[in-house]
Amino acid sequence: MASPEVATHYQVLNLTPTLLDTQHDSTPLIKRAYHRALLRNHPDKVTNSDPSSVCFTVDQITTALTILSDPSCRAAYDAALRVSRPSEKRDGSFQIGVESVDLDDLAFDEDQECWYRPCRCGNEHSYEFCEADLEE
């Protein structure tokens, strides 16, 4: 249901953004999810003795309902989620700063016999690759 990180409002209500996006009027769906979440997490009704299971508080559930029910609040929340969790859809092999490039896409300096590429800082030869670098 929820990851070890702080749960999103979608996780609290056991919904997905895609599901809500496909609904013409998502309010009834959100309200049903809210009621299910209240029942699922009610202290008198929780029978699961699994310590790894996640229980959400009434405040978390109510906040999730409030945010996801209001289209403008939900849009702002979705934008904040995208900023705070940018790597969620990436696999573990992704590394920041590492990029595969084709030498044919790089400029070639015939005097130094090196390929180069500019950096966004403005340095034209910020990334240089010579024949010896490629052999390593």
Q: Pseudo-torsion of CA 45, 49, 51, 54, nearest 10°?
A: -20
Residue 57 within a domain: yes
Residue 65 in domain = yes
pLDDT of residue 1: 47
> Total domain count for the chain?
2
Mean pLDDT by 10 residues, the chain (136 residues): 69 91 89 94 71 79 94 90 66 55 82 83 79 75
pLDDT at 49: 59
Q: Are residues 75 and 14 in the same domain?
A: yes
Domain that includes residue 19, residue range: 9-84
Query: Domain for residue 2, yes or no?
Result: no
| pTM of the predicted protein model | 0.56
Q: Are residues 118 and 67 in the same domain?
A: no
Considering the domain boundaries, does residue 89 fall inside one?
no
Domain co-membership, 79 together with 38 = yes
Residues 86, 92 contacting (CB under 8 angstroms)? no
Is there a single domain that holds both residue 13 and residue 79? yes
Report residue 44 as tokens.
């008198």
Predicted confidence at residue 96, as pLDDT, reads 54
66 and 114 part of one domain = no
- The DSSP result for the chain, as a single string, is ---SSPPPHHHHTT--HHHHHH-SS-HHHHHHHHHHHHHHH-TTT-----TTS----HHHHHHHHHHHHSHHHHHHHHHHHHHH-TTTTS-TT--TT-----GGGSEEETTTTEEEE--TTS-TTSEEEEHHHHH-
Residues 6+ apart with CB under 8 A from 13: 30, 33, 34, 36, 37, 61, 64, 65, 68
8 Å CB contact between 74 and 82: no
